[in-house]
């Protein structure tokens, strides 16, 4: 089984990387922990490394997301130009705040939970077809990053979201796009705590990384906890800090 690096150094060092084509659940337990920034660190690592990435934006106005990319020094413009990166703006597709940017994709309306996965598959199929025609899969990793799956709750409600995720799980085994073209390694962010969707995702994912924070004295302490990994028996924990929107692992 080929291992790929995440760019999260303590994790890569402890596990040697993550298994290619696996599903990584990044559970941001509380907002202060800023766990989502770890997903953006992985995005940066993969774009800088010349790899292929599809990013699924569920929860942020695109202008705010691009501002954040800029603050983090994520060179998304170059990756767009080189056709290595596409961004599916689900938030903008549903709520209408859009930008005219090549490789920022809007889903064909109407978008509902019944049509959503078909809409995603249309976009993914189109990009994989282009990448295959240009021979771009060769020597490159393929990543799908979704920030955040928990946002479906605010759009569609909790129970329908769980139903949708269960259906997507089943469809992944039948959709041609995953058989005709290479499959990627997926990173799904989930923010907050609930007893409806999270248990399903904890069981489904190959890796579960959890971020949490506490205030101790006059200091914020943030931890990344590796809850689940194929090679792991015990739970691992790493302290990190956030500076200028970047994740800093103190010991590394």
In the complex, minimum distance from the CB of residue 219 to other proteins, in angstroms, rounded to a whole number: 8
Among the listed residues 11, 15, 34, 229, the single contact to other proteins using CB under 8 A? 34
- Residue 51: CA count within 13 A, CB half-sphere: 23
Binding mask 5-24 for other proteins (x = CB under 8 A): --------------------
Our CB check for other proteins shows the closer of 149 and 185 to be 149
89: β partners? 57
Element (H, E) at 146: strand 142-147
Choose one: 59-67, 106-114, 162-170, 177-185; the region binding other proteins (CB under 8 A): 59-67
Q: From 64-72, 73-81, 101-109, 129-137, give the range in contact with other proteins by CB under 8 A.
A: 64-72
**Are residues 29 and 22 in contact, defined by beta-carbon separation less than 8 angstroms?**
no
- Contact in structure between 111 and 91 (CB atoms under 8 Å): no
Out of 155, 197, 209, 229, the only residue in the binding site for other proteins (CB under 8 A) is 155
* Residue 32 near other proteins by CB under 8 A: yes
Burial class of residue 221 (count of CB atoms within 10 Å of its CB; 0-12, 13-18, 19+): middle
Question: What are the DSSP calls for 49-73, one per residue?
Answer: TT-EEEEEE-SS-HHHHHHHHHHHT
Q: Report how far residue 202's alpha carbon sits from residue 163's, in angstroms, rounded to the nearest whole number.
A: 15
Any contact of residue 69 with other proteins (CB under 8 A)? Answer: no
Q: Which residues in 163-192 contact other proteins (CB under 8 A)? A: 191-192
Q: Which is nearer to other proteins, 178 or 190 (CB)?
A: 190
Q: Which stretch binds other proteins (CB under 8 A): 19-27, 136-144, 198-206, 212-220?
A: 212-220
For residue 139, how far is the Cα from the chain centroid? 21
**Residue 218 in contact with other proteins, rule: CB under 8 A:** yes
**b/e 144-182 (16+ beta carbons within 10 angstroms → b):** bbbbbbbbbbebbeeeebbebbeeeeeeeeebebbeebe
- Rule CB under 8 A: choose which of 14, 17, 49, 68 binds other proteins: 68
Stretch that binds other proteins, among 9-17, 31-39, 47-55, 179-187 (CB under 8 A): 31-39
Indicate the Cα dihedral angle 44, 49, 50, 54, nearest 10°.
-40
Candidate list 5, 36, 44, 127; residue touching other proteins; CB under 8 A: 36
Q: Are 53 and 7 in contact (CB under 8 A)?
A: no
Residue number, 64 or 170, with CB nearest to other proteins: 64
- Which region among 53-61, 81-89, 112-120, 125-133 touches other proteins (by CB under 8 A)? 53-61
User: Which residues share a beta bridge with 3?
Assistant: 19
Residues that bind other proteins (CB under 8 A): 28, 31-32, 34, 36-37, 59-64, 67-68, 71, 91, 95, 97, 154-155, 191-192, 215, 218-220, 242-244
């Amino acid at each position: 089984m080929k291992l790929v690096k995440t760019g999260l150094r303590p994790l890569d060092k402890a596990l040697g990387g993550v298994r290619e084509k696996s599903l990584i659940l990044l559970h941001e337990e509380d907002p202060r922990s800023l766990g989502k920034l770890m997903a953006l660190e992985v995005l940066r690592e993969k774009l800088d490394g010349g790899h292929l990435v599809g990013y699924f934006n569920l929860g942020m106005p695109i202008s705010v997301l691009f501002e954040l990319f800029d603050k983090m020094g994520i060179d998304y413009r170059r990756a767009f130009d080189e056709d290595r990166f596409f961004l599916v703006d689900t938030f903008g597709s549903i709520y209408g705040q859009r930008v005219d940017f090549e490789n920022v994709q809007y889903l064909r309306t109407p978008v509902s939970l019944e049509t959503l996965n078909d809409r995603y598959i249309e976009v993914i199929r189109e990009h994989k077809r282009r990448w295959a025609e240009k021979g771009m899969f060769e020597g490159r990793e393929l990543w799908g990053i979704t920030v955040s799956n928990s946002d479906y709750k605010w759009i569609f409600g909790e129970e329908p979201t769980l139903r949708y995720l269960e259906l997507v799980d089943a469809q992944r085994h039948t959709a041609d796009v995953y058989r005709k073209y290479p499959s990627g390694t997926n990173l799904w962010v989930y923010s907050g705590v609930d007893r409806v969707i999270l248990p399903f995702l904890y069981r489904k994912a190959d890796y579960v990384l959890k971020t949490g924070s506490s205030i101790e004295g006059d200091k914020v302490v943030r931890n990344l906890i590796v809850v689940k990994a194929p090679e792991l028996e015990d739970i691992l924990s790493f302290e990190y800090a956030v500076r200028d929107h970047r994740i800093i692992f103190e010991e590394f």
